[in-house]
Structure 1
Amino acid sequence: AFVEEWVESVEAPDNYTVVIHLKKPNPRFHHSFRMWGGSQGQIVAKHIWEGKDPTTFKNFPPVETGPYKLYGVYPELNMFVWERREDYWAKDLGYFPAPKYVIWRYAPPPDIDLADFVKGMVDAPLPHLFSWDMIKSAMALTPNVTIAPFLDPCPLGISTFNLEKYPLNIREVRWAIALCLNKEKLSELYPMAERADISPYPWPIPKYGSFDKYVPMAEKALKRIKEELGFTYEYNPEKAAKILDDLNFIDRDRDGIRETPNGTKLSFELMSRPQTVVQEYYIAADLAEELKKIGIDASVRTVDPAMWHEFGALGQYDIAIGSLCTGAWLPGDIIYMLDNFHSKWYVPIGTRAIGGGVHGANPRYQNPELDAIVDQLWTIGPDDPKADELYEQGIYIIMKDMLSAPAVEKMFVQTFSTAYWTGWPSEDNMYHVPYIWWPEIIFVLFQIKPVAAPPPVTIEYVGTWFTGTVEAFTGVDGKSYGPFAKGEYAIIPKEDADRLVEQGLASYTAPMATEITEALSQLSELTDKMSR
């Protein structure tokens, strides 16, 4: 869809140049090739792809431009292994990773993950599952821990609502639900880091400094919304209940659950990934309880992460709880967020959306006014004199219509083991994004170095005479010695000899022959008699 909308033609005049001709102006088009931008038109190797059907060709094993090639896939181990290319093209430019092999594996249950990390069997666990409690346990069990807390670009909360479903198509109902997000409590309960900030604005945007220029626009939008609707983005269940009362969504049969004006129960299902993906499930569970307090029959449906995206694309959900991800965070331009709510992405429930929405959950939203704003913004640069007015109105529309409701800013603590490798990103040296699932992890692999091997231990050996019976023992060099009888001689590690001498079981001087010992004794007695 992206290529069809924007690209007229493409040519490669030489081996190092690609010229892309656009159908219409797009000063942001170059951002399409950043990070995961390949999904919008990836440049691939001609000798591999030419003549292939891109809808069926697998490119396996993959041929790409990175410093690693696929070594093997091991389904029985949930593991795949990459081997370093010794002929990597950027090696002469100073970019060459120290690890010869990089192994990715499916994360095991938390207790096994923790044990493997402490033993040094895992260098970098996935922070989605490696909770703050696990990190603290690891630090108590081994000194080989480096942590790199990093604010994720996707806040957590209500990703979006399904506007094709009644009464979620009513703006005030969505606001009432959002007002039941106990953000302060959720911030304190956040399980993946020592702390998590509260999300201040109802938009799918992280608290990144690159968005500071839009904050005055967000504040102005919230002020307008308060003046026009009387709503403030806060935890306020009393206000939420009043909104529903005013809509005539009341408990008519006195069973504790509100009914809509047509008599149906006010009931919503909150779709979340499972509890093992703990950074979002706890929000769904808490919100369900809060909604019940104001008379909404709310339940949580947990689904596999892949199915979360599938149901979100098909519109088979009521309220999607999860990450509030859009493409805006990478270039720091909210046009990418606004575009996710463009009517071009609308499809009816049951038809798979091919784009738009929040983290793949399509809200089935349509607003011609927002469409016009987005269409105009795409054709002008972010610094164009007309841009700020368009940005401001777009922010106002998506906030007023309550399309997303973040609760907390997602902080991940990427944890690294220093048992075998050093030079990882850390709190004190966050030289790069530390996340192991981002493509940029390659720049971390360029930086880490193997831990220096300890100097070899020098063991001194000495000749030793045994003055008593000594049972067999293992020396400090790991070898077996003995048993020894009194008077025997052996060469053993000095550290072991010192111990035996101290115990009176050995000596560094040879014992005298029996005849000499007896003669000396007789001489001593004779000398003693003569002295009398």
Structure 2
Amino acid sequence: MNDAPRPQFEDVAEVVRHQLSRRSVVGGGAAAMAAFLAACSGGGGSYSDKPANKPAATKSIQIGKANIPVPRDQTVIVGQVEYTVFDSFNGMIPNGAPSGAGFEICREAMFYLSFATGELKPWLATAYKYNDAHTELTINFDPKAKWNDGQPLTANDFKFTVLLLKDRPDLFGGGGELKEFVKEIKIPDEHTAVITLTKATPRFHYNFIAAIAGGFDILPEHIWKGKDPTKYKDSSPVRTGPYKLKQAIRNQKMFVWEKNPDYWAKDKLDVGPQYVVFQSTSKQADQAALAFERAEFDVGSIDEQHAKQLRNGGYPNLQTTQFHDPNPRVMWLNCDPSRGVIAEEKMRWAINYCLDRAKIGKSIWPVEVPAAIYPWADYPTNDKWKNDELADKYKFEFNPQKATELLDEICPKNSAGKRIYKGKEVNLEIITASPVDGGEYAIANVLKTDLAKVGVPATLRSLSGSVHGEKFERGEYDIDSNWAGFAFDPAQMYSDWESSRAQPIGKNAAGKNKMRFKDAAFDELSHQLAAMDPTAAEAKPLLDQALEIYFQKLPLLPVIQTGYPSYFNTAFWTGWPTDDDLYEVPLNWWQHFIFVLGKVKATGQKGPA
């Protein structure tokens, strides 16, 4: 890589896997993010806004009176999760900030990377560049950027935030890569930061790109300097975004955000709604869906079951937009020899042949989704990492006969019909953090049934989050039905699978190589790739070689892409992202939602008096 600024486009896969597999620079861990994504998602049925059978007559709607303190026709109302924190927006401490309460439209990112379009938008920062050795990273900041209290945002705010977090593992986002890679930061002028790195890396800038919820949160030094970051609540957050907090109303479980008339980037983003309200919806699904039907919410407040009823009833204002989560659902397979037969690559391929991905995608996951073959989301921007010749050579298919042939080689049946491996009966342990009515449990149950048909009994247990997390990290499982959570590009993902990161069974893996995979050739390829720009031409052959070892050894099994629908009501606002015009990620708890608010238009509908 040379010193020229990077282009305006970036690969979604590279960034998101980095951010999902590590604590984001400010915010909670990947597991919390996964839980939050699931909590905010709808479930069940089809994405289509057309009735399943013949169309019903268009239904007239009755507009309900939304319980908000601002004019309805100037307000977008977002139905969200149950809030418990109302007086703090400090995301660096446990329970320091409410999730999905609208802070995402108040704070802004240095760069935005859109899964919907693949575009990288410079925002608070205008460019970045490395030196040839990838030991120095220069970031330029927009001289127009300013905080919502009128003070300018400068490179000193960036330096202050990084140094605040660098040596603080007690803070969310503290320690980690900042501690590992940041040697010093110089500020040659108020709009330029030069980071000297402790070692070469072409990927450090990914820490400062918003690709998912969470991400790096630049703090205003003039507000935070001298504050104890473990105690300061930041209850009236000063940030740079197009909205400011107007009020938090605890008894209504509501946050009201108001358009900032002095927003610094109004020339490139003029948001439409004067107000945006984020409000907890009713715990009763029927009541929450009725509120959506009465247009008391513009976003969310409905699940797929009730959305399907509205479609079939001819409800005219429902818009459903599909979007695949960055994480395919996968089976993690324990490769440690002490776990027995699961350590055999032929056994892992036998399990792969027992995965009925088509059935799972059509009838098990709440919405119909495609099979996953590669261990990343099926975004077009990920296509460069694929190698379809290898995928065809190591074809994923549901084929119990092939599974049986492999099993007969490595663990043939005894006279009692039990499969035996090294003198012991084969019996696999499958775990998941999913509840028994959850998708990951259902996927595992399908696999368990099909394994039994080829003579491999398995136990399946749903474990609480903390219990599951401990067993998963300690390697006390054979198969884990879970989500991917990999690094941001294949090379970074592969570095987490290196043999040196494989802990003995019983010792915490600390998020690295949780399947205890070991392969010397793979390690060598990973080492070579570590200092390479993954998009460079010389990296592709090495990436393909590592991918082939992955296909051969199968330390984990991608199962399906993860589909979630977003629901919008068009009674008061139109211009939401659609399947045909997915101009931006439709998820209201991601920072990208400001660009959606810049597109929506008021219909002129007035709320009831």
The 5-angstrom pairing of residues 47-62 of structure 1 reads 47-51=222-226, 56=230, 59-61=233-235, 62=237
Cα separation, partners in 2 of 1:41 and 1:115, compared to 1, 3 Å? closer
Aligned to 1:451: 603
> Which of 385, 410, 424 is matched with 1:263 structurally?
424
Cα separation, partners in 2 of 1:455 and 1:405, compared to 1, 3 Å? closer
Amino acid across the alignment from 1:94: L
**Residue 452 of structure 1: CA displacement?**
0.6
**Residue 184 of structure 1: CA displacement?**
2.0
Distance in 2 separating the partners of 1:104 and 1:447: 22
Aligned to 2:179: 4
Aligned to 1:373: 525
Q: TM-score, normalised by structure 2?
A: 0.62
Amino acid across the alignment from 1:442: I
Aligned to 2:370: 197
Aligned to 2:381: 210
The 5-angstrom pairing of residues 312-391 of structure 1 reads 312-328=472-488, 333-343=489-499, 345-356=501-512, 362-391=514-543
Distance in 1 separating the partners of 2:471 and 2:326: 23
Aligned to 1:427: 579
Q: Which structure has the larger Rg?
A: 1
Amino acid across the alignment from 1:342: E
SS of the residue aligned with 1:114?
helix
> Which of 271, 288, 311 is matched with 1:139 structurally?
311
Cα separation, partners in 2 of 1:136 and 1:433, compared to 1, 3 Å? same
Q: Tell me whether 1:170 sits opposite 2:344 in the alignment.
A: yes
**Residue 180 of structure 1: CA displacement?**
0.8
Cα separation, partners in 2 of 1:399 and 1:355, compared to 1, 3 Å? same
Q: Deviations over 1:482-515 (max 9, x none)?
A: xxxxxxxxxxxxxxxxxxxxxxxxxxxxxxxxxx
Q: Tell me whether 1:151 sits opposite 2:324 in the alignment.
A: yes
SS of the residue aligned with 1:268?
strand
**Residue 319 of structure 1: CA displacement?**
1.7
Cα separation, partners in 2 of 1:73 and 1:98, compared to 1, 3 Å? closer
Distance in 2 separating the partners of 1:439 and 1:144: 25
Residues 186 and 193 of structure 2 are in contact (CA less than 8 Å); yes or no, is this contact kept in structure 1? yes
Aligned to 2:405: 242
Q: Tell me whether 1:220 sits opposite 2:376 in the alignment.
A: no
Amino acid across the alignment from 1:153: P
Amino acid across the alignment from 2:198: K
SS of the residue aligned with 1:365?
coil
Distance in 2 separating the partners of 1:291 and 1:37: 36
Q: Tell me whether 1:31 sits opposite 2:192 in the alignment.
A: no
Distance in 2 separating the partners of 1:346 and 1:82: 47
The 5-angstrom pairing of residues 382-421 of structure 1 reads 382-421=534-573
**Residue 12 of structure 1: CA displacement?**
3.4
Aligned to 1:17: 192
Distance in 2 separating the partners of 1:366 and 1:327: 18
SS of the residue aligned with 1:66?
coil
Amino acid across the alignment from 2:289: L
Distance in 1 separating the partners of 2:520 and 2:379: 29
Q: Deviations over 1:260-280 (max 9, x none)?
A: 3232441322314125544x3
Cα separation, partners in 2 of 1:356 and 1:44, compared to 1, 3 Å? farther
Which 5+ residue runs of structure 2 have no aligned equivalent? 1-175
Quick one: higher RCO (CA 8 Å, sep 6+), 1 or 2?
A: 2
Residues 292 and 300 of structure 2 are in contact (CA less than 8 Å); yes or no, is this contact kept in structure 1? yes
Residues 82 and 101 of structure 1 are in contact (CA less than 8 Å); yes or no, is this contact kept in structure 2? yes
Distance in 1 separating the partners of 2:573 and 2:258: 16
> Which of 341, 359, 362 is matched with 1:188 structurally?
362
SS of the residue aligned with 1:124?
coil
Amino acid across the alignment from 2:363: L
Q: TM-score, normalised by structure 1?
A: 0.70
The 5-angstrom pairing of residues 78-157 of structure 1 reads 79-84=253-258, 86=260, 87-91=262-266, 93-96=268-271, 98-105=273-280, 108=283, 110-125=285-300, 130-131=303-304, 133-141=305-313, 142-157=315-330
Between the aligned residues of both structures, percent identity stands at 29
**Residue 76 of structure 1: CA displacement?**
7.3
Amino acid across the alignment from 1:214: W
Residues 251 and 295 of structure 1 are in contact (CA less than 8 Å); yes or no, is this contact kept in structure 2? no
Distance in 2 separating the partners of 1:380 and 1:370: 16
Cα separation, partners in 2 of 1:355 and 1:18, compared to 1, 3 Å? farther
The 5-angstrom pairing of residues 489-504 of structure 1 reads none
Distance in 2 separating the partners of 1:151 and 1:42: 25
**Residue 365 of structure 1: CA displacement?**
2.6
Aligned to 2:453: 293
Which 5+ residue runs of structure 1 have no aligned equivalent? 226-231, 457-477, 479-532
Distance in 2 separating the partners of 1:93 and 1:305: 43
Q: Deviations over 1:102-140 (max 9, x none)?
A: 3143673544443332232333228xx933x44321223
- Greater Cα offset, 265-274 or 80-89: 80-89
Aligned to 2:63: none
